[in-house]
């Protein structure tokens, strides 16, 4: 190892990525095309939740670590993703009847309050940084709102309201957010921020929040094409957007459509249906033979809904599965349910439930193969979060189909 250090810090980290046996095993499994053994959904969910618990414990309970990275190990706490892990713990605690997960969610929410900026905004980036980011603020609002509903603790609603007021203060007149954004540009995936404002409106009845959300949804609709494509869905204008940010955009539109319940909401839902149909068609047609299971969904798409990568984005896969399950819930179109079930099996096949490395065991990688371009050789906490949400929603819907009773919703 001393010899490796002589390579310099970058060379040392790169060597470390390939020197640990658990890393080599993870890479070799996928290089050989070996699939993991499918276990029960409960086993996969429990392993994912255990990984999320470790991501909180490794940073002393102060947020959730951004993930496990082959080069550097566990990352620092990540305010943005910590915010939307909160509802996952709350939902799992309700599912299994264990208040320990509610306690974890409360701890994460309190940490977010402790580091909230004086302006009400949420900090950007991994770790504790001094600059605010619009998207991060919206995601933590979702966490605080979910905590308030469960605990009725006013501090969570106060924090969400302060954050929502900041979002209004920095919003452009036409509804987009241009300042305090990633790459200093407006993004269509800010529909998830609009969704957070609508959730705050539900709890406060403050019409300013509803109006600001509707303006953002209207601006996003103005970016849509007739084929269901939406401009500015990606992190940059140059690169084709990942399924991760496509799903962010569509999920925000879908959730907002129900909360708006007006013409803008109806237009948003219609757009989601067109876009979701494109992703589903591409997925189902990606087969070697008509009888085969579809191949992995491409990591990113071009404006004509043609794939732009040969790798797959596992985070986006889990998010797309949630979107399809929600569409099935609304429309009863079985194509979306079947697609979601197959998509989640793809993610399960990549999950290692037996690794001796606690950063790998139960986690979900950013890419498949794991050396793909999105978060290469890493297990981000948001991948585990969305996969857990998808499994819980799948269980709820399957319970409804089998018994005719309703379950919990993601």
Q: Mind listing the pLDDT tens digit for each residue in 143-155?
A: 999 999 999 999 9
In a domain, 380, yes or no: yes
- The number of CA neighbours under 13 Å toward the Cβ of 379 is 29
Q: Can you give the pLDDT at residue 402? A: 84
For residues 222-246, give the mean pLDDT.
97
In a domain, 337, yes or no: yes
Phi, psi of 6 (to 5 degrees): -70, -15
- Number of structural domains in the chain: 1
Q: Is residue 407 over pLDDT 80?
A: no
Q: Can you give the pLDDT at residue 15? A: 60
C-alpha 107/C-alpha 104 separation (Å) is 5
pLDDT classification of 51: cutoffs 50, 70, 90? very high
In a domain, 144, yes or no: no
Question: Tokens 């793809």 map to which residue?
Answer: 346
C-alpha 298/C-alpha 384 separation (Å) is 19
Q: Can you give the pLDDT at residue 305? A: 96
- The number of CA neighbours under 13 Å toward the Cβ of 239 is 14
For residues 249-253, give the mean pLDDT.
98
In a domain, 394, yes or no: yes
For residues 316-322, give the mean pLDDT.
98
For residues 68-90, give the mean pLDDT.
97
Q: For the chain, report the end-to-end CA distance as a whole number of angstroms.
A: 46
In a domain, 64, yes or no: yes
C-alpha 176/C-alpha 173 separation (Å) is 8
Cα–Cα nearest to 272, from 239, 236, 202, 319: 319
Please state which of the ranges 15-19, 303-307, 401-405 shows the lowest mean pLDDT.
15-19
Q: What are the residue ranges of helices labelled H in 234-380?
A: 243-260, 263-285, 314-331, 334-350
For residues 103-128, give the mean pLDDT.
98
Question: Tokens 């950063």 map to which residue?
Answer: 359
Please state which of the ranges 9-13, 46-50, 269-273, 356-360 shows the lowest mean pLDDT.
9-13
C-alpha 198/C-alpha 178 separation (Å) is 20
In a domain, 226, yes or no: no
C-alpha 349/C-alpha 176 separation (Å) is 39
C-alpha 82/C-alpha 66 separation (Å) is 8
Q: What are the residue ranges of helices labelled H in 66-190?
A: 79-96, 99-115, 134-151, 154-170
Structural domain including 69 reads 43-77+311-405
In a domain, 114, yes or no: no
pTM: predicted TM-score of the whole model, two decimal places: 0.94
Q: Is residue 11 over pLDDT 50?
A: no
In a domain, 61, yes or no: yes
Sign for the CA dihedral angle at 312, 326, 332, 347 comes to positive
For residues 78-95, give the mean pLDDT.
98
pLDDT classification of 5: cutoffs 50, 70, 90? very low
């Amino acid at each position: 190892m001393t010899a490796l250090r002589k390579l310099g810090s970058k060379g040392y980290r790169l060597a470390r990525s390939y020197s640990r046996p658990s890393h080599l095993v993870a890479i070799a499994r996928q290089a050989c095309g070996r699939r993991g053994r499918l276990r029960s959904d409960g086993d996969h969910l429990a392993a994912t939740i255990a990984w999320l618990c470790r991501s909180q414990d490794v940073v002393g309970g102060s947020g959730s670590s951004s993930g496990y990275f082959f080069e550097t190990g566990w990352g620092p706490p990540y305010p943005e993703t910590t915010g939307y892990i909160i509802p996952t713990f709350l939902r799992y605690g309700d599912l299994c009847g264990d208040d320990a997960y509610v306690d974890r969610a409360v701890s994460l929410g309190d940490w977010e309050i402790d580091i909230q900026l004086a302006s009400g905004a949420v900090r950007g980036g991994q770790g504790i940084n001094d600059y605010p980011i619009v998207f991060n603020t919206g995601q933590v609002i979702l966490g605080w709102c979910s905590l308030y509903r469960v605990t009725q603790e006013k501090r969570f609603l106060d924090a969400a309201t302060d954050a929502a007021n900041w979002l209004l203060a920095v919003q452009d007149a036409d509804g987009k957010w241009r300042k305090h954004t990633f790459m200093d540009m407006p993004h269509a995936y800010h529909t998830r921020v609009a969704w957070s404002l609508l959730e705050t409106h539900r709890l406060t009845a403050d019409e300013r929040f509803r109006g600001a959300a509707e303006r953002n949804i209207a601006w996003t609709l103005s970016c849509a094409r007739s084929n269901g494509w939406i401009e500015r869905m990606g992190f940059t204008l140059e690169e084709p957007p990942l399924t991760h940010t496509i799903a962010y955009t569509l999920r925000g539109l879908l959730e907002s459509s129900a909360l708006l319940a007006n013409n803008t909401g109806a237009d948003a839902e219609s757009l989601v249906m067109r876009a979701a149909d494109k992703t589903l068609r591409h997925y189902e047609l990606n087969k070697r033979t008509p009888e085969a299971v579809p191949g992995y969904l491409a990591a990113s798409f071009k404006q004509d809904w043609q794939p732009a990568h040969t790798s797959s984005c596992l985070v986006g896969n889990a998010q797309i599965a949630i979107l399809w399950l929600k569409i099935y819930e609304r429309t009863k179109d079985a194509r979306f349910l079947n697609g979601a079930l197959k998509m989640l099996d793809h993610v399960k096949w990549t999950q290692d439930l037996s690794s001796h490395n606690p950063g790998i065991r139960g986690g979900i990688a950013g890419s498949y193969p794991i050396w793909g371009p999105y978060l290469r050789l890493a297990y981000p906490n948001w991948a585990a979060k969305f996969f857990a949400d998808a499994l819980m929603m799948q269980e709820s819907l399957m319970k409804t189909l089998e018994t005719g009773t309703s379950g919990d919703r993601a």
